[in-house]
Amino acid sequence: MRAAVDIINGGAGEMRVASGDLSQRTEQQAASLQETSSALEEITVAVKRSTGLSEVSTAVNQMDQVTQQNAAMVEQSTAAANRLAEEAANLARLIARFKLDAARTAPRAITSENRPAPSPQKRRRQLPQHRGRSAEKKRLAKFVAVNLAFTGLRSLCAGRGNVDGIE
C-alpha cells in the first residue's frame, strides 16, 4: 500500500509539474496571441494610411492635370489677347491715315432746294422719293457706325497710351 501511495504521490507531483508547465505554456500562448493581435492592428492602421495616401495622391494628380489645363487656357487667352491688340493697333494705324472733317462729312437733310435736278433719262427711272430717303438713312447710319467704332477704338487706345498718333 505504501508503494501505491508513493505511486499516487509521485503521480500527483508529476501532475503538479505538468499543470505548471501547462499554465506556463498557456501564459506564453496568451502573450503570443496578444502580440499577434497588436501586430494585426498595426497592419490594419498601415493599410488605412496607405489607402488614404493613395487617395491623396490621386487627388493631387487630378489637381495637377487641371492646373496644366488652366495654364494652357491662359496661354491661349494671352495669345488671343496679343493678336487682338496687334489687330487693334493695325486698325488704329489705318484709321489714323484718314482725317475726317466733321463739318464736311456731316450728313445734311436733302430738300427740294438743294436736290439736283434729275437728268431726263433719270427722270424716267427715278425711284419713289421714300427710297431716296432710305439711301440717305443708310449713309447716315454708316457714318454714325464708323464714328462710334472710331470713338470706341480711340478709347481703347487711350487706355493703352497714345497709339500711332491717335489721341
List, for residues 29-45, the tens digit of each pLDDT value.
999 999 999 999 999 99
- Return the pLDDT at 110: 61
The model carries a pTM of 0.37
Residue 163 near residue 92 (C-beta atoms within 8 A): yes
Average pLDDT, the chain: 77
- How far apart CA 30 and CA 27 sit, in angstroms, is 5
Average pLDDT over residues 56-67: 96
Would you say residue 104 has pLDDT above 60? Answer: no
Q: Parse the chain into domains and list their residue ranges.
A: 1-97, 99-111+127-167
